[in-house]
Chains A and B, each alone.
Chain A
Amino acid sequence: MFASIVSYGLAVGAVYALIGITYNVMFSASRVFSFTAGMLGMLGGVLGALFIAKMGLPAIVGLVLVLACGAVIGLVTELLTVRPVLKSIEQHLYVLSTLAFALMVQQLTAVEWGTEAQPFPRLIPIGPGWLDQQFWLPMLACAVTIVGLELLYRKTLIGRAFLAIAEDSYAARALGLPETQLRMASFALAGVIGTLAGFTGAEMLLAFFGNQSILNFYGFVPVALGGMGSNRGAVVGGLALGLFQQAANFLVGGIFAAVAVFAVFIIVLLLRPEGLAGASTARRV
């Protein structure tokens, strides 16, 4: 029982954490909470199965193509759903525009790919058990992503520019930073991370259009738990969510497992509205 809680919990948690990071990367660059994160996760699995299982491409080529598609969809998201509503961001129109775009893509996937879950190929033939790729691949992807993002943000000039935009976009623009290009790059990066989450978690979650809503929601939980914009918080929140969800599956089971997850989520937010890792920001008046 313990082994199953840890292996499944950490693997699913890593997928949730990556979707949480996808939300964060888009949010940091634009202050827009884009509901396309779950869509990117869903597409990672569906496109991966399409390229590798249906079209017979080598796994590595399939992965590169999936990530490239993710980047393109990220750019399209920025152009179509974020840029037009940035001027009136306080009206929260982005909720509608990003959600509508995500639903359109989901329906298109349902029509073209089908409404039945389809298998995702086993890429590395080790297992079953602990060594099965469905457990360690999402965790590896999560580790690589968080380390990569830390290096990007702290060691490179472009990473610092991302941080500057996230901190204060007006000041960054005044310093001559190309805000629009950086925002587009952030959405492309989020597209890559979101599809990577879906690709690495697809053997467990299957290539299924319905994964979009699950990932949208469960990917949001680590962001809320870990604090908006905090990638480390998202990783901790995501892994904790996965472990708690899997423990609840064992302890209470059935639909009560989901109820237990929501109950804890609400209690945490009541006690710490800024999230477990987030710091409450002082507002100058």
Chain B
Amino acid sequence: MSITRRKVLAGSAVGAASLASGLAAPAIAANEPIKIGYLPALTGPSSSTGIGINRGTVLAVDEINAGGGIDGRKIELIVRDTQSDPTKAVNAVAELAQRQKVAIVWGPLNSGEALAATPLIARDKVPMLHPCWVDELIDVKKYPMAFRIAPTNTQVGGGANYYVVDVLKLKKVAVISDTTGYGTASVNTYVPMLKAKGAEVVYENHVDAANPDLKPELLRMQSAGAQAIMPWSVNAGFLSRILNTRGAMGWDVPVVGQTTLGSGQTKALLEKPENWNKVYSNNFRQVCFADGKLPERAQEFVERLKKAKIEMGDTLLWWIALGWDGAKMMGDTLKAAGPKADDIVAHWNKTKGWPGVYGTVTWTPEQHNGFPDSEVVMCEVNSLKDGAFNLAPGYAA
């Protein structure tokens, strides 16, 4: 087939027409939904957190859309289940940022996936909001569009240290971890912090989590005069062995540490329910019972969850609240600043005392970690009711 001048002209006309229709797109887009890329782990080994956060996120988006959306435009969550797999998170980021052209990325919700995905989201210049604790995930120079709506690992460890040294007034502390990267890094970070607070670390060790008998370690702690045990591990087997050994020794020492201490998996491995007494795990002031009552915002949120028939018995209130806060923060931002990336980041950089259910958020251009130290608290692990825990004893109301 020969190419004639007429055919070239006709082709050009079609091209011009399609270009013109492309130029007219913003007028149509004014009514189109605003897309938010959402990267939860809804399946796979780290999915229990994702499932809880997802309930809050979906509820908030439904509420925003039912209330008229963002100036008449609905929010559309483009959900990509990372399946707890960093590779899948990375692939999803490419699709969300480049093909779907989302306004904001919410997630990934787990640190392992966020570590892989954050540099890519930063490269594509998409505003990113995430709830992961690993400190390195926020760096205003490397990732100027990434913001954290949860505490950092340093804050979490600092909260536990504060409780032991300043609330319980205990000075001799045993710090133990498993031999994983998380365990060793936590001990290496938190021990100097404890010492800086004036505590004496009488025992410090990393132990293989598979070791079935931790009695030698606890005997060493006891003979060193430890007044509190601080275990840093996400391994329920390891933590339950510490608690069971403490129970078998009849040693009435408080155990203060990470949230897994209060998980259902740890509970299932206890030899006696009493072994969970005097065990305090990280939690958050806004979603803890104090004197039998939740703070006002959380109580009102629980009522809404009940009304929306959202299941709370198999998850934790702080996970749902965190999901709700993330979506609500994005909704408020889009309403105030619109869907352009630079405007969103500028708005977030000026956020001060934003009242979430899970926590109060403040960001500045120099600090994208938004969670206040004062809201990282410890709770009594054996007090779970409706997905929330009692504040550990000793805190001022």
Contact = CB atoms under 8 A, between A and B. Distances in A.
Interface of A: 1, 4, 8, 12, 110, 114-119, 128, 204-206, 208, 210-211, 214, 246, 249-250, 253-255, 257-258
Given A117-B269, A118-B269, A214 B210 contact: yes
B210 A114 contact: no
Contacts of B213: 4, 8, 12, 246, 249
Given A1-B219, A255-B179, A205 B212 contact: yes
Given A117-B235, A117-B236, A117-B237, A255 B208 contact: yes
Range for the number of chain B residues in contact with chain A: 20 to 34
B215 A211 contact: no
* Most central of B212, B219, B237 by chain A CB within 10 Å: B212
A257 B207 CA distance: 9
Given A8-B212, A114-B45, A258-B208, A119 B217 contact: no
Contacts of B237: 116-117, 206, 208
A206 B211 contact: no
Interface in B218-272: 219-220, 235-237, 240, 248, 265, 268-269, 271
B187 to A, nearest CB: 11
A114 B215 CA distance: 27
B179 A12 contact: no
Given A214-B210, A253-B207, A258-B208, 19 more contacts: A12-B212, A12-B213, A110-B45, A114-B45, A116-B265, A117-B235, A118-B265, A119-B269, A128-B248, A204-B212, A205-B212, A206-B269, A210-B210, A249-B211, A250-B216, A253-B205, A254-B207, A255-B179, A255-B208
B347 interface: no
B206 interface: yes
* Most central of A12, A255, A258 by chain B CB within 10 Å: A255
A116 B45 CA distance: 9
Interface string B175-219: 000010000000000000000000000000111101111011101
16 contacts: A1-B219, A12-B212, A115-B45, A116-B236, A117-B237, A117-B240, A118-B269, A119-B268, A204-B212, A206-B237, A206-B269, A249-B213, A249-B217, A250-B216, A254-B207, A254-B217
Interface string B357-388: 00000000000000000000000000000000
Contacts of B215: 4
B269 A254 contact: no
A128 B244 CA distance: 12
Contacts of A206: 237, 269
A117 B265 CA distance: 8
A4 B219 CA distance: 12
Given A118-B265, A206-B237, A206-B269, A255 B216 contact: no
Nearest to B205: A254
B179 A253 contact: no
A1 B271 CA distance: 21
A206 to B, nearest CB: 5
A118 B208 contact: no
Contacts of B212: 8, 12, 204-205
Nearest to B176: A254
Nearest to B266: A116
Contacts of A257: 208, 211
A206 B271 CA distance: 12
